[in-house]
Chain A
Amino acid sequence: MSLQPTLSEPATAKETMAGVIAHDLRDGEWVEVGANLPVPRAGALLAHLTRGPNMTVMMAMTKAYLRDEPVLDEYEYITDVGAMRWAEAYYQHDVLLSQQRRRAKGVFFCGGVQIDRHGNSNLIGVGKDYRKLDFRGPGPIGTTNATAQSRRWHLITTTHDPRVLVERVDFVSAVGYGDGSDGFRSALGLPNDGPTYIITPLCVFDFDPRTRSARLASVHVGVTVDEVIAATGFEFPVGPEVPATVGPTDEELEILRTRIDRRGSLR
């Protein structure tokens, strides 16, 4: 992998996803930069470096300020001491989980073994019988809570295929719009309004406020609507004109490739 990528090469699908994430984030918000999640990591760092001097970035269980660092190499583990050298504070894990008021400014990115048309995520596993799963997933980790407590959240997958994007998840570990019925979230007393987007390597879905079902918001450059339809396990409405996803600008792409993702995880 070249350390000096050709900056004139167009954005890859994952770089486009990082651009979508970065453009959505606002200065002053609170984001987590996990390990082993290169796309949300790159998107959050890109926002911090380009538009977020007052963002709170949680990195390797620390509060970090990273805008003055020329290069932010990826780290492999959430406990990597190398990623703790910018710490202004440690986030002791049990204390972090007790201090949910932080998430009033929080934005969270939730993955899924399955994600359904109503924005529910399943990290538990695939199968009809919980005691005999066909495929055991990683488990909820912290997604049940983070999606409930954060002010805003999005769903994200780097695998856009019909097994991931399904009509109905087998189990709900992070709840979106449930069965899509009117008032589902408010009846449960869930504090935020539900997921905003599903961000994939092919497109961005948002949710129709009347049906709370995913609809095509934009397709990435070079992707056709038919390709998205063929790769998606649920039906979704397509408007007469589907805009192209706004990916990273030239300047953002240079920052991604020279400061955030030198190893090329997004390429």
Chain B
Amino acid sequence: MSGDDAVVSAPLERHSHVAEVVSVVDAIQDGMTVAIGGFINSGHPMAIIRELVRAGRRDLTVVGAASAGLEVDMLIAAGCVATVMTPYVGGEGIAAVGPAFRRAAQCGEIEVVELDEAHYYAGLRASAQRLPFNPWRAGVGTSLPEVNPRLKLFRDPVNDELLLAVPAIEIDVSLLHAAFGDIYGNVRHNGTRYGDIAISAASERSFVSVERVITPETTRANPLATSIDGVEGIVRATFGAHPFAAEGFYRPDEEHLREYVMAASDWLKSGSRTALDDYLGRYVLTPKDHAEYLDVVGFRRILGLYEF
């Protein structure tokens, strides 16, 4: 009898990467560094973000997109955030600067890691390359190394030029939203993809909510369209970026975003959390899952957001 017969193992099968919102949030513990993809008013994995708030995660270091949107502001408003590492938090014309971000930064309730978007990607690149830092030139002569002591000025050993060492941005879990994904974790974006690929490459684990789950055959028909191969979890979340846009599917829900901004601005200006707590209660804490959230928003509103 050979030894091989003694090994009783499960049949070797390729396993599914399909995940649920709740299991993604289970992978995130208090104090972790969590990155969120998308860009300002588009492409944020909101079904997952709202569950993160419901689960009451605390002391997170949030690495927003190079230009993050109001999803980071909402996490700050909900008390989940200790540190923000992103060059912009806002909503363009809807809110030049996120109100909760502004308030927390002004009163020192969060640590802001001041970066230009070029430093942000240098830090992600260093993490992806498993290096301690990437060098960058821009930023010398500015206040950035003073207000962000993680940035170190140094003379490069090749040409003796003054440069900044941008430390690796090491991410525990990244959360992205994309157009499509298959059950093996292959992701396909519509549009420019923002910085999602760089964020994923800098992360230990990545989870992606998608508008549609596609078949592996569809993936193999055009491998060039695969933007990220093999993420840990694919979460089916139709309208999962709402109130933000999902390219190729729907536009931002401006009315909803303005409702949030009004509530958060009230907190900034008057110190009263009543309107903000109403918003969080109605849209985030009371709905038990993504489907109930969409119920609260309402079908007519959702169906009014198509691009063309």
Contacts and interface: CB of A to CB of B under 8 A. Distances in A.
Nearest to B38: A79
B181 interface: no
28 contacts: A77-B42, A78-B40, A78-B92, A79-B43, A79-B194, A82-B307, A84-B192, A91-B192, A92-B193, A93-B194, A98-B121, A124-B114, A124-B143, A132-B107, A133-B106, A136-B106, A139-B89, A139-B112, A140-B114, A140-B116, A142-B66, A142-B117, A145-B118, A145-B138, A147-B138, A149-B137, A171-B143, A190-B141
Contacts of A81: 191, 245, 247-248, 251, 307
Interface string B67-94: 1000000000000000000111110110
A218 interface: no
A77 B41 contact: yes
Interface residues of A, number: 53
Interface stretch (B95-103, B218-226, B276-284): B95-103
B162 A189 contact: yes
A86 interface: no
- Interface pairs A-B: 4 shortest CB-CB: A148-B138, A144-B116, A145-B118, A94-B198
Interface of A: 35-36, 61-62, 76-79, 81-82, 84, 90-94, 97-98, 100, 122, 124-125, 130-145, 147-149, 171-175, 178, 184-185, 188-191
A79 B247 CA distance: 8
B92 A136 contact: no
B140 to A, nearest CB: 5
Given A79-B43, A189-B161, A172 B143 contact: yes
B304 interface: no
Given A36-B93, A143-B116, A188-B141, A94 B192 contact: no
A93 B143 contact: no
Contacts of B88: 138-139, 141
Nearest to A131: B108
B47 to A, nearest CB: 19
Contact of B108 (A36, A132, A184): A132
A97 B142 contact: no
Contacts of A185: 141
Given A77-B245, A92-B194, 10 more contacts: A76-B93, A79-B42, A81-B247, A84-B191, A100-B118, A132-B106, A148-B138, A171-B143, A178-B141, A184-B141
Contacts of B87: 139-142
A159 B265 CA distance: 22
Most chain B CB within a 10 A radius of its CB, from A79, A84, A178:
A79
B39 interface: yes
A149 B138 contact: yes
Contacts of A141: 67, 87-88, 116-117
